[in-house]
Amino acid sequence: MAPEEFVALLKPYAKSIQNRTGIHWAVIIAQAALETGWLRSLIVDLYTGRPSYNLFNIKGKGPAGSVQAFDTEYVKGRARRIIDEFRAYHNYEESLEDYVSLLTESNRYKPALAVGGDPEAFARKLQELGYAQDPRYAEKLIMIMRKYMKEESNEIEMMR
């Protein structure tokens, strides 16, 4: 899916989440874009091909169970490929709602939520709090926001 189509598809949901939680819509979309490769690399079960609808590559069991898929794990800064269990959903909206629950119901992410209105600060805080193992996670999110959502909203520019 083209980045512009991806943004258009998820923006109404992301804006709704922003209204409820204060997490800026751009960082929500940037995370989903990074995690799924703009829906080109959505996690599917390695053995059955069943789609996960998991926009954020959240591990564990979801409302539709789980799928087994390859993942990149970082050990002492070095990437290695493993098979892991990822949450499965019935649709993308369910994935977005679970993402919101994960962040808002955990004390671990309270410092990120405190800066949720600033998408770049939120991205940095998520990385600092261990949301993802990729040592360049925040940098990648910020690059996506600056490249694909700059023209979508002057809000991002105003926040810097």
Q: Which of 5, 35, 71, 73 is catalytic?
A: 73
Q: Which of 59, 52, 34, 17 is nearest to 149 (CA)?
A: 34
Instruction: Look up 73 and say whether it is catalytic.
Output: yes
d(CA 43, CA 40): 9
C-alpha dihedral (47, 53, 55, 59), degrees to nearest 10: -50
Instruction: Look up 45 and say whether it is catalytic.
Output: no
Q: Which of 45, 84, 85, 98 is catalytic?
A: 98
User: In residues, how long is the chain?
Assistant: 160
Catalytic residues, by residue number, are 73, 98
